[in-house]
Amino acid sequence: MTQKIGFIGLGAMGHAMAGRLMDAGYILVVYNRTKEKADDLVKRGAIFADTPASVAQQTDIVFSMMFDDASTEEATFGKDGLATTLKEGGIHVCCSTLSLGQARRLLEQHTQRGQKYVSANVLGRPPAAQAGELFVMVAGEEEAQKHLEPYFKTFGSRIFNVGSDPVQANLVKLSLNFMIYSTIEQMSEVFALNEKAGIDPKTIFEIMTNSFYTAPVHKNYGKLMVEHQYDNAGAPVTLGLKDTKMFMDAGADYAVPLPYASVVRDRLLSAISAGDANRDFVVMLERVRQEGGLKKENTEK
């Protein structure tokens, strides 16, 4: 007998993950605020529910992949939240990037209701999800992790058990995101100083990415940076700031100083003040350049 599972939040990533679960034969009960995003999944047999509560009523395991703390809170503990109907022993598998505070609240509240809460943060972009090649960082009760493994394997090529406290998966995720911004700051200082000394950043980028600095984080972001591609890319300054704030708050929770994170924070704030809030966060480079007296980005194309 095929098992029904719930999936709430069908953005690009959630949609791809839900699709993989269906590919593996699971029947999905799905919810998304914008119903249309579920259309193709429904065509393939998914059941659309009108509320998160309705999803949880029909299933014992509910995945959620929401945008942030607030939307996760609403979908979980709001009036029609999944927690209002999830049965005792039911599992909420939360895949969203959350603050540790929000993750703790989820654990506490679900536990009070006799429900289980597992954090399963993923690494990779939607195409990787579609190919079943995400990295899945799981934290929560050992037994629940075991139980969920087959599901994780539908969209993940590697499953990491990072701990028994769900909040740990969230911290790993925040840490990996921080390393993106931190690498951008690092490369920004190098590019700006070299440019000021008359060295083409593209030259140093080529040397870097062919020697010790060959990771995707160097290649992907470095390329956007040396090409001043601040506008057509993925995620904005405001998202970087949200992530950095959550990482710094985690530092405060555990009383660990994080000077690099502070530098990133200030850089992103100054990008916002420069009017770049909605541009790709690689625009951090522009702040470093201009503080260093280099002329504004080429806009000539």
Among all residues, which ones are annotated catalytic? 173
Q: Which of residues 157-186 bind a copy of itself (CB under 8 A)?
A: 158, 160-163, 165, 167-168, 171-172, 175-176, 178-180, 182-183, 185-186
The interface region with a copy of itself, picked from 17-25, 63-71, 88-96, 211-219 by CB under 8 A, is: 211-219
Q: Which tokens in the block code for residue 129? A: 């999800």
Task: Kindly tell me which of 233 and 274 has the beta carbon lying closer to a copy of itself.
Answer: 274
Task: Kindly tell me which of 26 and 191 has the beta carbon lying closer to a copy of itself.
Answer: 191
Q: Should residue 199 be labelled a site residue for a copy of itself when binding is judged by CB under 8 A? A: yes
Q: Which tokens in the block code for residue 211? A: 């020697």
Angle of CA points 164, 249, 256, to nearest 5°: 80
> What is the C-alpha separation between 245 and 225, in angstroms, rounded?
23
Residue with tokens 């954090």: 119
Task: Kindly tell me which of 3 and 175 has the beta carbon lying closer to a copy of itself.
Answer: 175
Q: Should residue 233 be labelled a site residue for a copy of itself when binding is judged by CB under 8 A? A: no
Q: Should residue 286 be labelled a site residue for a copy of itself when binding is judged by CB under 8 A? A: no
The interface region with a copy of itself, picked from 19-27, 29-37, 85-93, 288-296 by CB under 8 A, is: 288-296
Query: CB of 139 within 8 A of CB of 171?
Result: no
Among 193, 228, 233, 235, binds a copy of itself (CB under 8 A): 193
| Non-local CB neighbours of 266 within 8 Å, separated by 6+ positions | none
Exposure of 250 by Cβ count < 10 A (0-12 exposed, 13-18 middle, 19+ buried)?
Answer: buried
